[in-house]
Copies of this chain bind each other. A is one copy, B any other.
């Protein structure tokens, strides 16, 4: 406890400060700008100093995931399991959206951290508390996949066109015309957005709507199977 004999050059580094700085750096400069060297520079230490607190870069990324998972709200006291799980997953989604790099880092992890296991254990417990069998819950978790984290792989990351920032409206219209002849079905459904039908190009989809659409479709499906007393012994 009386350890202030050390000359206080810098704030003493610890694992938590390293992880928080890494999250902040990734938030600000992007995950591709996060390197052991750039993080060390950020913390005003020599790169090797980081290796006192994380074994290697993989463990640094693991720790960053746990920081984000810690931001997910605990379960609220909903009456039914479906809305409780729905609410929790949407909370995870908000946490993920605050850190645009997080979904890609979660995808890249090869073994789960304690924080990840705690979250998954808790979600599974919510299904079981709702009365779903361990069997059905097992398959439900697989079906949700990365959706338990509040994200899914987007097919069209930003825009369907090859040159999204191209400012020339005439070239853009020509491009759309080419696309329409070669990929008529894609163009049709991209434009099939009744709510904001004014713009020529669909300027991206309502990601939140799409996420909830698929989530509700799955949750409703689980509920239906549960009511039917489904087991994996028989295919439905």
Contact = CB atoms under 8 A, between A and B. Distances in A.
Interface of A: 107, 109-112, 117-118, 120-122, 124-125, 128, 133-135, 137-139, 141-143, 145-146, 148, 152-158, 160, 162, 182-186, 188-195, 205, 209-210, 213-214, 216-218, 220-222, 225, 231-233, 236
Nearest to A109: B157
Q: How many copies does the complex hold?
A: 2
Contacts of A194: 135, 231-233
B186 A120 contact: yes
A141 B128 contact: no
A148 B218 CA distance: 16
B160 A152 contact: no
B110 A157 contact: yes
A121 B186 contact: yes
B143 A153 contact: no
12 contacts: A111-B157, A112-B160, A117-B182, A117-B186, A118-B183, A134-B192, A135-B189, A137-B189, A142-B213, A145-B154, A145-B155, A209-B232
A125 to B, nearest CB: 4
B155 A153 contact: no
Contacts of A209: 232
A100 to B, nearest CB: 13
Given A121-B183, A138-B189, A217-B218, 7 more contacts: A117-B186, A121-B182, A138-B192, A143-B210, A148-B155, A217-B222, A217-B225
Nearest to A192: B134
B162 A214 contact: no
Contacts of A220: 221, 236
A143 B110 contact: no
B221 A217 contact: yes
> Lowest 7 A-B CB distances belong to which pairs?
A134-B192, A143-B214, A146-B153, A142-B210, A124-B185, A138-B189, A145-B152
